[in-house]
Amino acid sequence: MNPSSHDFDLFVIGGGSGGVRAARMAATRGVRVGMAESGRMGGTCVNVGCIPKKLYSYGAHYAEAFEEARGYGWQMAHAPALDWQVLKTNRAKEITRLNGIYEGLMVNAGVQRLQGHGRIVDAHTVEVTGDDGQATRHTARHILIATGGTPFVPAIEGRELAVTSDDMFDLPVFPQRLVVVGGGYIGCEMASIFHGLGAQTTLLYRGEQILRGFDDEVRAFAADELRKAGVDVRVGCDVARIEAGTGDTRRVVLANGSVIDADVVLYATGRRPNVDGLGLADAGVQQADNGSIVVDEHFATSVPGIFALGDVVGRMELTPVALAEAMALVDHLFGPAPGKAARTMDYDNIPTAVFTHPPIGTVGLTEAQARERFSDIQVFRSDFKPLKHTLSGRGERTLVKLIVDTASDRVVGLHMVGADAGEIVQGFAVALKCGATKAQFDATIGIHPTSAEEFVTLREVSRK
């Protein structure tokens, strides 16, 4: 079939971070681009993920700041109180503003934006069912699936009484008692945020330690800090069922028979690829057991002409990863921008943060991963009370950790638990990407007094 006979050169299903970036970058190459999105533009990150989460995290930190201020001489005439409705309203205004910006990006780039649910008919045809129920068909030389992920709740008794992370930002009433089931980054962030906002918070995780996949020392340190802050973290804990309590309350019955009463039960037990109703099976698109779409190094699926990227392929479920994948795909399909080299996707040394209180920042290998990969490593670490808390009265501590390959002296892992960890680790991620050595860290002058300077003043090997 001649490409010119198609309606579009690229048709994108999904208006989240990856889909928007791919559509916009492709349009700048002068090709015809269409996009279908059934919800609000911006996807999970803008609407129910990164952005509202970070806004609420900022809000939660104010409660800590009010308490800390006393140690610095500030007197509070009245106890501050959270107005949940004001926080929700202001968040909603900002998200609506961002929705408009994302819509504008499509319009200004010349992308034809279709409001509705996209379904793949065949390798070059997408059917879009609009909000009015009317369906239209569109042909494309290439189809991109960028539909993201969706929260997963296991089939336990009473699951309909629980909420997911999608619901947390707009709860009708602020929960005085919150139970979070799940010890991944979403569960830990929500526990921190809502505890900071004033909820009595219990976090339940069936594994032996929260934050599976992160460095073991970081996991243990973060769990201790959460407990010190007042979050009731319980590991090795299974939920048997959820029951309705009096009024709108809930009762969480554990496998050991104990009961926890709550106003809200949040299930943060992972996410699944958002693939329902896409017609993948009929089109012959191969999927993994968990539903994620199987793709090659160029994000091509098993069907020529159909591509997928972002959370729906289940590699690294991070917004900046989806953005980078989108740019690599566009360069592959339509060539790089004039004067630029074609981009490819490298999943090594991708930094990430967990916005718990205190936050976690990490880049590179965990200690366990480094021990598997290298014959000899050195671990440098320090934990300390930050200068701020010498007067604030809080017992919060900070952990910094470097993992070094002894043979090459390269720093292969860098981890932090402490204030501004995400901001600090982003900078050091550049150094790791460039292959920085421990000697180069040692030769770098620190900025004093900061927590970040600890990374360039670590001299004593903690263990080999």
| 180 in the same domain as 163 | yes
- Residue 76's pLDDT is what? 87
Residue 228, strand partner residues: none
CATH of the domain at 417: 3.30.390.30
What pLDDT sits at residue 464?
Answer: 86
pLDDT tens, residue by residue, 379-427 = 999 999 999 999 999 999 999 999 999 999 999 999 999 999 999 999 9
Burial label for 33, CB within 10 Å (0-12, 13-18, 19+), is buried
Among 223, 246, 269, the domain boundary falls at 269
CA distance 324 to 329: 9
Average pLDDT over residues 269-293: 97
Q: Which residue has the tokens 């019955």?
A: 253
In a domain, 113, yes or no: yes
Can you give the pLDDT at residue 1? 44
Angle between helices 216-229 and 185-197 (to 10 degrees): 20
Instruction: Give the pLDDT confidence score for residue 57 in this predicted structure.
Output: 98
30 and 133, same domain (yes or no): yes
Same domain, 120 and 23: yes
b/e per residue 190-229 (b: at least 16 CB within 10 A): bbbbbbbbebbbbbbbeeebbbeebbebbbebbbebbeeb
Q: Mean of the pLDDT values across residues 198-208?
A: 98
Sort residue 420 into left (φ over 0), alpha (ψ -120 to 50) or beta: left
Q: Which domain holds residue 413?
A: 352-456
373 located within any domain = yes
Measured distance CA(231)–CA(60) in Å, rounded = 13
CA distance 387 to 385: 6
Please determine, for residue 79, whether its predicted confidence score (pLDDT) is greater than 90: no
**Structure token pair of residue 256:** 């050991």
Q: How many domains does the chain have?
A: 3
Asked whether residue 122 falls in the same domain as residue 26, the answer is yes
Is 347 contained in some domain?
A: no
**Any domain includes 239:** yes
State whether 263 and 293 are in the same domain: no
Of 334, 361, 379, the one marking the end of a domain is 334
CA dihedral 169, 174, 178, 180 (to 10 degrees): 0
Tell me if 390 is assigned to some domain.
yes
Judgement on whether residues 41 and 118 belong to the same structural domain of the protein = yes
In a domain, 79, yes or no: no
Tell whether 226 is covered by a domain: yes
**Residue 459 · residue 444 · CB < 8 Å:** no
Model pTM score: 0.96
User: CATH number for the domain including 297?
Assistant: 3.50.50.60
Of 238, 176, 221, 220, the closest CA to residue 201 belongs to 176
DSSP annotation of 146: -
Share of the chain above pLDDT 90, in %: 97
Domain shared by 265 and 276, yes or no: no
Q: For residues 9 and 104, state if they share a domain.
A: yes
Instruction: List Cα–Cα distances, 372 to 170, 217, 431, 457, in angstroms.
Output: 44, 16, 23, 27
Q: How far apart are CA 229 and CA 243, in angstroms?
A: 29
Are 142 and 166 members of one domain?
no
Measuring CA to CA, which residue among 40, 24, 44, 5 is closest to residue 272? Answer: 44
Distances in Å between the alpha carbon of 295 and those of 168, 277, 307, 343? 32, 19, 7, 17
Choose the final residue of a domain: 246, 269, 292.
Answer: 269
**190 pLDDT exceeds 70?**
yes
Q: Packing angle between helix 17-28 and helix 319-334, nearest 10 degrees?
A: 30
Catalytic residues: 448
Query: Over 60: is that where the pLDDT of 252 sits?
Result: yes
Quote the pLDDT of residue 78: 87
Same domain, 226 and 300: no
Q: Is residue 74 part of a domain?
A: no
Query: What is the average per-residue pLDDT within 207-218?
Result: 98
Q: What is the pLDDT of residues 135-174, one digit of tens each?
A: 999 999 999 999 999 999 999 999 999 999 999 999 999 9
Question: Rounded mean pLDDT of 217-236?
Answer: 98
- Residue 172: is the preceding peptide bond cis (ω within 30°)? no
For the segment 21-38, the average pLDDT, to the nearest whole number, is 97
Residues 223 and 134 in one domain: no
* Per-residue burial over 140-175, b = 16 or more CB atoms within 10 Å of its CB, e = otherwise: bbbbbbbbbbbbbbeebebeebbbbbeebbebeebb
Name the pLDDT band for 4 (thresholds 50, 70, 90).
Answer: low
Residues 146 and 292 in one domain: yes
